[in-house]
Amino acid sequence: MDDPGRLLDLLPDDRPLSWVREGEGLVGWGEVARFTGTGSGRFAEADAWWRSFTARLDVRDEVGVPGTGAVAFASFTFADRSPGSVLVVPRVVVGRRDGRTWITEFAGDGVRTAMRQAVPVRVGGALRYDDGDMTVADYRGAVAEAVRRMRAGQPQKAVLAHDLLAVADQPLDARFLLAGLAHHYPTCWAYSVDGLVGATPELLLRREGEVVSSRVLAGTIWPGDDPAGAGTDIGAALLASAKDQREHAFAVDSLAATLRPHCRTLDVPSEPSILALHNVSHLSSDVRGVLRDGASLLTLVADVHPTAAVGGTPRTEALQVIAELERMDRGRYAGPVGWIDAAGDGELGIALRCAQLDGNTARLFAGCGIVADSDPDSEVREAAAKLVAVREALEGTLVGG
């Protein structure tokens, strides 16, 4: 199709679906089918449901690249016990890849009418903030207890999160939040699936045929957190931080260990690089492999999730610490989010820098990797720095800047 302009500008207000980075990706709306699941088998069940659904379709695909044909937007819970994992098959998808734009529809729908927004985007208004299920004080205490346990033996790392509620005077518009995040975080993946809206810098897994890749982020610094003194380059300070390097190594090693059995070759960088964003900078490693077994994206994610970047290591002990100390349901925060197609290809990021929208209320999340030498006050400040992205976008202080 002819270039319709910015993908996010095409979205209607009713349950928009998005996976967009630097102007390319997929947006969708409407719904023809849905999978929901809970438990440790949710990835396998979703994969089986998706294979069965796509096998019954008569598909005409004149473009033939990943993301064309039948597509489902995906969002899975972090924890096995949490309800809410979902695949949504949209009625209409518009995609762009390498400058080429296409539209996919289920036959019989009024596509040209659907290309127009239902109502104008509602701008952000006044917000008030309330404590979530885990307050800042609770979070500081949980970090301190996790550090105590680590110094006593186990685990080596656990990623603890807390939440914050933002309450508006009118229903919140996912498109407004998406626009603000995409504008100031263009190198992140701006996503919206079933009310979970955010912009993640972390790609859990991408599958394109036999090639699988991942962008691992762990280790964080932000303006104002200059451990070496004022004026120091914060990227250099991050690279020099033994604590952050150790946290990053745990994340990369856990991903590589779970991917390696599926791959003929696996390239893992020996040293991380710096990913600088508007509000924070991260240690980053891009991992790339060639599959030996043809595993689908959901099969791979079932093995990989949760990595040490969002769970911890060893995995079992870290998840036990999270369950005991957080005392809240993360929902789909820090779970896989993105899209899959009928060939088993797709992109799934980690649902970070996000909010779950419910009418007038947004539930924001932020988490930090905790290791034995973590400082509770510093981790509280890091979590606050990570919340800045969504808070500013909700408040509208980013749009047009």
Q: Which of 157, 247, 317, 347 is catalytic?
A: 157
DSSP H or E run through 378: helix 376-395
d(CA 364, CA 165): 6
- Residue 240: helix, strand or coil by DSSP? coil
Residue 138 token pair: 């609770």
φ/ψ bin of 191: left (φ > 0), alpha (ψ from -120 to 50), beta (otherwise): beta
Write down the residue that tokens 């005409």 correspond to. Answer: 60
Q: Are 351 and 198 in contact (CB under 8 A)?
A: yes
Give CA–CA dist 384/269, Å, rounded.
30
> Looking at 45, 105, 145, 202, which residue is catalytic?
202
What gap in Å lies between CA 396 and CA 188, rounded to an integer? 18
Q: 95 to each of 88, 102, 212, 319, 394, how far by Cα in Å?
A: 16, 5, 21, 37, 26
- Examine the residue annotation and report whether 24 is marked as an active-site residue of this protein: no
157 is catalytic: yes
Query: Which residue numbers are catalytic?
Result: 157, 202
